[in-house]
Structure 1
């Protein structure tokens, strides 16, 4: 656990180099082991063949009671009786027994014993490979031991080990260096992006990361993503600054009017009627503040909600509930309010859809002229609802910002309003996964909601 925590604290380049070094060490160890095993097997096979041939010639000489034949260079021989007494031995061995008592007993009972004398590492002299078998000569059992020296074989293996270790070390160093340079080169853009982000954190404005235009790898795509994120953050910050400025202005106006009314009322004695008029004026401004605050809170709730509470609702009932409060307004102004919706069931959040439709109707009645018409239709799982009027329509320069908060078409819309109605409609459409569009029809203005249902 401590090792893992320690590794996590290391820089990414260091961890990548360690991973490369560890992987290469395993690969090199496996390759060196395979090469060593193949060479050792070949040398042992050659040594065993020589030993077997020499053993066979010794066996034949003992059976024929002839002098032992010469063997390979450096070969040794020893002949024992069944009790382990040395009957014949090479001069180099003199009377040194080559077999242990256990091995002697095994050979007497018919087993063939083969083993090495001395070790490869650490280096020892007079290393041998011997083989012992029982042979019957003139009815008497004899133990024939043939031995060959392993000096050349051991020297070749030690040299091979040294060369493999040297080559593996060089390869590991080269691989680690290449891995380090590659990791540094790959992460250099990331470090450059980090420095750019640090300048942004320090308050720099309009800074963008320097992303190469002729590449399309993972790091480049990361740079484009970060730049896109910076664009959106800057746009969000600009919207926030504009929102704060607009909200401050919108709140300042009614508060200033209220303060003026109260100052006038307190400046000199007023009659009961004058005080009543002052209170009514203050009440109007208070209601305007309440409506503005509620609208801002609704927009904030829509923007921060994780999901809507969708439910099945009849479209006709939803629209009727939104239209009823506006019929009397239309009648008082002598205007026609027509509704044409199918009797279908849709899925949506009536809590937000109903006031959104009401805002569209209020906008058309407040700023438009002539008849107001609400139409809706469902096609391929989408609801398309439009509210049109017969007024002068939207000014062309106002259309791109029609759904911005506090946006007003002052040139043609003279009635008072907070400028949040269409912004609320747009927020409801986005929350439902749909869109809102404002346009001119040639006979007035039209706002359309397109929602999945």
Structure 2
């Protein structure tokens, strides 16, 4: 496995703050190294240019003196010179390098062939005496070949570069430490809300109820948006938990009554001999309670499906056909009760979810037939892109005490839970209207109760 393959998993296992600090330190190291290299290169180039200019000027004066047989002139401070023949024998030299061979045999041969050689003697970082920069050039005079070597000391130049390297290393080190500290503090500060959110989530996992994260309201950064998202998730979780508790409580409460009645009927039938007519009546009573259980279960499941997903599938549908399909199952009930069903539905196409709206309207009609009197009227109109379905009757209407809770689950105008109906019809209609981004309103008209659904279509 490569070094990269071994280090990357270890790096990923480190804490986030540590990884961020290491990333900042590495990035800053590269930036500082690049900046220091650029500064060093620029300063060294300037110093070398000055040194080379002095060396070239001194070389020219030496060449001129050798070519004309004159005495070798003095050069700049710290300069040295050496004159060799074609075989490398020293003909003239500064005292400090009289016995020192400055050129290698290869360089000597190259200069003898007309090339100009320039190189340094001594290193920059290892402080040694006698560091030089020399330049050798061939000069022909009187048919004889002379090799003129001009040299200048590099002491001041090397000292300046060593000092520059030390200053750059010191400044880069301080900058790297400061950047790493700032990166550490910034990462800790940025991740502190995340740790707070994690602690809150751990508290929630321990069973704490109604927990909400403390999210600043005056910010709009990634962490703040994460907090709002988590709070929204907590709201949804709490709503879901409350809905489940309510569903279980409502179901257990409402299912208990028909199950108790069924058990009582069966106990009576089993504990003493009964005639065929009595057994038939018992079975009919049990059948009625079973049907009530089925209706109640279907209503609860429908409400739960709407409440948990809020999903509807809109599709074009004929409003007249939809209302007719909702009214038809109730016509025989109305005839047996000697009541009239009047329908006034616009012949238009609406964009709604008929799978949910049809039973919602049917529930409103069923409530009007159960609890109202006289004619039941169903009016369905569309105006400005809003569908309005209103169901009215000619009964006593809703009592003032009942209206504020008319759309609550299992709310009944009668005090007894054994009264006809489950108390879910209006709640279901309200849930359907809400799922369509609409509203449901219950009130009293001139002659009785009126329930209106308004849905954008």
Question: Structures share a fold, TM > 0.5?
Answer: yes
Aligned mates of 2:367, 2:6 — CA distance in 1: 66
Q: Distance in 2 between matches of 1:24 and 1:258?
A: 80
Cα distance in 2 for partners of 1:222, 1:398 equals 42
Cα displacement (A) at 1:15: 2.1
Structure 2 equivalent of residue 159 of structure 1: 163
Which residue does 1:24 correspond to in 2? Answer: 28
Choose the corresponding residue for 1:257, options 232, 254, 261.
261
Against the structure 1 CA distance between its residues 401 and 7, is the aligned structure 2 distance closer, same or farther, given a 3 Å change threshold?
farther
The aligned runs of 1:364-375 (5 Å cut-off) are 364-375=368-379
Which among 422, 425, 434 is matched to residue 437 of structure 2?
A: 434
Q: Does 1:311 align with 2:315?
A: yes
2:200 alignment counterpart: 196
Find the counterpart in structure 1 of residue 186 from structure 2: 182
Q: C-alpha deviations, 1:380-418, integer Å up to 9, x for none? A: 544333333344444455445443433333369995222
Question: Aligned-residue CA RMSD in angstroms?
Answer: 3.0
Give me the whole-angstrom Cα distance separating, in 2, the residues matched to 1:370 and 1:413. 25
User: Between Structure 1 and Structure 2, how many residues are aligned?
Assistant: 452
1:155 shift after superposition = 1.8
What's the CA shift string for 1:166-201, capped at 9, x where partnerless? 221122112212222232233333323332332222
Give the whole-Å Cα distance in 1 for the aligned partners of 2:338 and 2:87: 137
- Which residue in 2 is equivalent to 1:383? 387
In structure 2, the partner of 1:325 is 329
Q: Which residue is 1:424 aligned to?
A: 428
Alpha-carbon deviation of 1:281? 0.6
The residue aligned with 1:244 is: 248
TM-score by length of 2: 0.88
Residue pair 1:51, 1:131 contacting (<8 A) in 2 also: yes
> In the aligned structure 2, how far is the partner of 1:205 from the partner of 1:414?
35
Please say if residues 345 and 380 of structure 2, whose CA atoms lie closer than 8 Å, have aligned partners that are also in contact.
Answer: yes
Structure 1 residue aligned with 2:295: 291
Q: CA deviation at 1:42?
A: 1.8
Q: Say which of 85, 89, 92 aligns to 1:88.
A: 92
Partner residue in 1 for 2:348? 344
CA distance in structure 2 between the aligned counterparts of 1:414 and 1:263, rounded to whole angstroms: 20
Counterpart CA distance in 2 for 1:410 and 1:3 is 74
Q: Distance in 1 between matches of 2:313 and 2:228?
A: 36
State the match for 1:41 in structure 2: 45
Q: Is the 8 A contact 2:441 2:453 kept in 1?
A: no
Residues in 1 aligned to 2:332 and 2:124: alpha-carbon distance in whole angstroms: 109
- Label 1:261 to 1:332 Cα distance change in 2 as closer, same or farther (>3 A): same
Aligned to 2:78: 74
How far does the alpha carbon of each residue in 1:323-377 deviate from its partner, in whole angstroms, 9 at most, with x for none? Answer: 2112222333333323223222233433333222212222232233343332333
User: 1:145 matched to which residue of 2?
Assistant: 149
Q: Distance in 1 between matches of 2:400 and 2:38?
A: 80
Q: How far apart are the structure 1 equivalents of 2:47 and 2:305?
A: 83
The residue that corresponds to 1:120 in the other structure is 124
Secondary structure of the residue aligned to 1:408 is coil
Query: Is the contact between residue 399 and residue 438 of structure 1 (CA under 8 Å) also seen in structure 2?
Result: no
| Structure-2 separation of matches of 1:110 and 1:398 | 117
Cα shift at 1:247: 0.7
Which of 125, 129, 133 in structure 2 is aligned with 1:129?
133
Measure, in 1, the Cα distance between the counterparts of 2:95 and 2:381: 115
Unmatched runs of 5 consecutive residues or more in structure 1: none
What's the CA shift for 1:216? 6.2
Distance 1:450 1:84 in 2: 112
Q: Give CA-to-partner distance per residue, 1:280-308, whole Å, 9 cap, x none.
A: 11111111111122223333444556954
For the residues of structure 2 that align with 1:106 and 1:371, how far apart are their CA atoms?
Answer: 124
Tell me how far apart the structure 2 counterparts of residues 377 and 313 of structure 1 sit (CA, whole Å): 14
- More moved, 14-23 vs 121-130: 121-130
Contact 1:434 1:449 in 2 (8 A): no
Residues 441 and 292 of structure 1: CA distance in aligned 2, closer, same or farther (over 3 Å): closer
Q: Deviations over 1:413-441 (max 9, x none)?
A: 9952222223333343444x422312315
Unaligned runs of 5+ residues in structure 2 are none
- Give secondary structure in 2 for the equivalent of 1:92: helix
Give the Cα separation in 1 of the matches to 2:412 and 2:395: 16
The alignment partner of 1:406 has SS state of coil
1:214 Cα deviation (Å)? 6.5
Normalising by structure 1, we get a TM-score of: 0.88
